[in-house]
Amino acid sequence: MSPHLDDLIARTKALAKERRYDEAISLATDLVQRYPNEMKVWSSRAYLYGCKNDFELAVADLTRAIDINGMEPVLFFDRGSYQSRVGRFGAAVEDFGRGLALCDHYRDDYYRETLYFFRAEALIELGRKREALQDLSQVRDDFRFWTYKLRTKSELQAQCIGQSS
């Protein structure tokens, strides 16, 4: 990827930070037309769609990014997150699992704990609470993360054993 393209992607992020999403998406759309084989332009536009709560378009763009380079754990984390947001928890579990497999492949733990946490939440939605508890055993006790709201490990564990939190 060229430094010029990096600068243009950075410009989309700057526009998003200013909440100028329509402008950012317009620029990102131009980039995907000009650079259709660059994973980062698709991922960038997916992020922008996510900012506007258009999760279906975000999933579509991340699917294209994965088609270009299916070896990036963050793409599966992001797509799984959006899949959860639209209620496709089975697909989310698959994406989070693929992200975890890539963590193993690269021997890189950067996304591992968060992937387990998100997958546990999706498993709970599917009624697979025993599996969710197994995933949560891989997460620090004080772990908290924003999924659709700020969630904690203890909150998810309570859901698994039928307690309200």
Q: Decide whether 1-69 matches 70-165 in CATH topology.
A: yes
CA distance 153 to 93: 17
Q: Smallest Cα–Cα separation from 158: which of 109, 118, 124, 126?
A: 124
pTM of the shown model: 0.93
Domain ranges of the chain: 1-69, 70-165
* Interval 141-162: pLDDT, tens: 999 999 989 999 999 999 999 7
Q: Identify the CATH number of the domain defined by range 1-69.
A: 1.25.40.10
Query: Can you identify the CATH homologous superfamily of domain 70-165?
Result: Tetratricopeptide repeat domain (1.25.40.10)
- pLDDT at residue 165 in the model: 44
